[in-house]
Structure 1
Amino acid sequence: MSSELTPLHDLLDLLDLERIERDIFRGDSRAAVVPRVFGGQVAAQALVAACRTVPEGRLPHSLHAYFLRPGDPGVPIVYTVDRIRDGRSFTTRRVVAVQHGQPIFHLSASFQAYEEGLEHQEPMPPAPDPETLPTAEEALPRYAHLFLDPELPERIHRARAAVDLRYVDEPPFGRVGRPGEPRSQVWFRTNGKLDGDFDDPALHLCLATYVSDMTLLDSILLAHGRGGWVVGDVVGASLDHAMWFHRPFRADEWLLYDQESPTAQGGRGLGKGRIFTRDGRLAVSVIQEGVVRVPRGQS
């Protein structure tokens, strides 16, 4: 890989787990923008671990996961895979991620060999071409004066440098005090091509899993004119995460992540997402619930 792809290479290294036993893997742990491990990293690494124990030719079609404790970026994460079932058509795996002797995350994933079947899907919603939208590097400095920490834009950019992620409209921290529709859209792709040893269909699914946790709760904030943790008007964290992989896609080609929130209540909010290929195929469905709390003293 060329030097400009170093952030992507680092992400691929992060997902390349060390096998320390037949069904036990170890992954590096890195700090996200906040002082804990990014949830998308843990989910993607857990899916990598599961993928490495299934029969050849079977890819994940769904996963269901819970975030149990914040991840410590200072120590590795150990992933233990349980081989729940290997059937004629489907394979099931359960993965537990452990740090400091305690589970921090667990995931169940189901795999299937490709087969023909009935076909229908929702249409892709309208969205501008991604090339017409500003990159994160171009957009983030516009909001630096709103952030609690003036260094946050640079830290966010570094944390997401492996992914080219472009908001269709302003992000939540650009619309503070202006409640709107609980809906948001981003285009994304890896910041570089996946070729050679990296052109693995399972890896594309794991990379989409990584990105899927970045912006899914934005639509909750937009409904209330909140900017989120970066401006200090909401405290949030992912609670659970579910994905269904419908059709093949490439993570290094543009994907539209269409997101909405049907409800928020009781200190929690729900986000729903659909990921479409650029030519309109529904590739992935995502649902996540997260903690969404207003700090004391704010209303």
Structure 2
Amino acid sequence: MTVRTPLLDTLDLERLDDDLFRGTSPDVGWQRIFGGQVIAQSLVAAQRTVPPERPVHSLHGYFVRPGDPSIPVIYRVGRVRDGGSFTTRTVSGIQHGAAIFTLMASFQRHENGLDHQIRMPDVPGPDDLPTGEALGREILARAPDAIRRYWDRPRPVEFRPVSTDHYFTDAKLPPEQRIWVRVVEDIGDDPALNAAALAYLSDMTLLDTSLFAHGLSVFDARIQAASLDHAMWFHRPLRVSDWLLYAQDSPSSSGARGLTRGSLFDRDGHLVASVAQEGLIRPKRRDREA
């Protein structure tokens, strides 16, 4: 039996009609809805219109407007196609009568086929790195105010970065990051829930990687940063309550946008999912006018 957790409550949408759902946000004091939440809730809405024997294999979403955490989000599902092997759905997340997020997701019945993958990076395992509590103390002791506020926030995901250099320097660093992640509480083995929870955590830390090459951080008060779009491909079975290595790199930043790619591996080295995201990264208006 799956134990109820705050993350599961966030992902448990209320069904209003066959293809209409309502999701709420946890009260954690955020000014806008976390992007991973609307990705995950949109995926849950789509999943509830698809037979469980057809798990998600890919999703592509666009962040259209900032979400207001004080009111629910209405998710409207469009049934694009139900084919022999694949099912396609669209989802619109709506607040104040306007879309804040749009998603297209594809689902596939299980098939056997060719199988290969890239190798997992050779990095220390999560047990050889500081725990979340110890890491938080280290960062809070030396980090700027914005970073301390971020680490003080409660969250359902634990991080263990292989390197924390980017938290404490404005030096230009290679635009890459290796970080172990997991959902703090055991959410069970349900494939649909694990895929939704992975979508939730996949939005964390990505945008920051594209700023490393410029000696900047999403915590920098001079930077306006926001996710613009998000894509995921689900390759193999996974459990988000077990440690996953999130290997990220940013191949390009230009036009006030940064692109980051991510690969998620389980502890046995299996590539379970791939991610790509482009985000807005530009000086805030007062800095652009200076």
- 2:272 match: 283
Give the match's secondary structure for 2:211: helix
- 2:32 match: 36
Contact 1:172–1:221, Cα closer than 8 Å, also in 2: no
Structure 1 pair 150–133 and aligned structure 2 pair: CA distance change class (3 A): closer
Report the Cα distance in structure 1 between the residues aligned to 2:28 and 2:65, rounded to whole angstroms. Answer: 15
Structure 1 pair 250–150 and aligned structure 2 pair: CA distance change class (3 A): closer
Report the Cα distance in structure 2 between the residues aligned to 1:282 and 1:258, rounded to whole angstroms. Answer: 10
Structure 2 residue identity aligned to 1:54: V
- 2:121 match: 125
- 1:182 match: 175
- 1:215 match: 205
- 1:167 match: 161
Alignment of 1:198-237 (within 5 A): 199-228=189-218, 230-237=219-226
Contact 2:126–2:180, Cα closer than 8 Å, also in 1: yes
Structure 1 residue identity aligned to 2:227: S
Structure 1 pair 154–130 and aligned structure 2 pair: CA distance change class (3 A): closer
Alignment of 1:261-272 (within 5 A): 261-272=250-261
Which stretches in structure 2 are left out of the alignment for 5+ residues? none
Give the match's secondary structure for 1:297: helix
- 1:68 match: 64
Give the match's secondary structure for 2:198: helix
Instruction: Return the TM-score normalized by structure 2.
Output: 0.93
Alignment of 1:99-138 (within 5 A): 99-138=95-134
Deviates more, 1:129-138 or 1:234-243: 129-138
**Per-residue deviation at 1:31?**
5.7
Contact 1:134–1:166, Cα closer than 8 Å, also in 2: yes
Structure 1 residue identity aligned to 2:144: F
**Per-residue deviation at 1:32?**
6.1
**Per-residue deviation at 1:232?**
1.5
Contact 1:226–1:233, Cα closer than 8 Å, also in 2: no
How many pairs are equivalent? 287
Contact 2:30–2:69, Cα closer than 8 Å, also in 1: no
Structure 1 residue identity aligned to 2:158: D
Give the match's secondary structure for 2:50: coil
Q: Percent identity?
A: 48
Question: Of 12, 18, 35, which residue of structure 2 is paired with 1:22?
Answer: 18
**Per-residue deviation at 1:216?**
1.0
Report the Cα distance in structure 2 between the residues aligned to 1:133 and 1:33, rounded to whole angstroms. Answer: 29
Instruction: Return the TM-score normalized by structure 1.
Output: 0.90
Alpha-carbon displacement from aligned partner over 1:112-132 (angstroms, at most 9, x marks no partner): 011100111111111101011
Pair 1:193 & 2:193 matched: no
Give the match's secondary structure for 2:210: helix
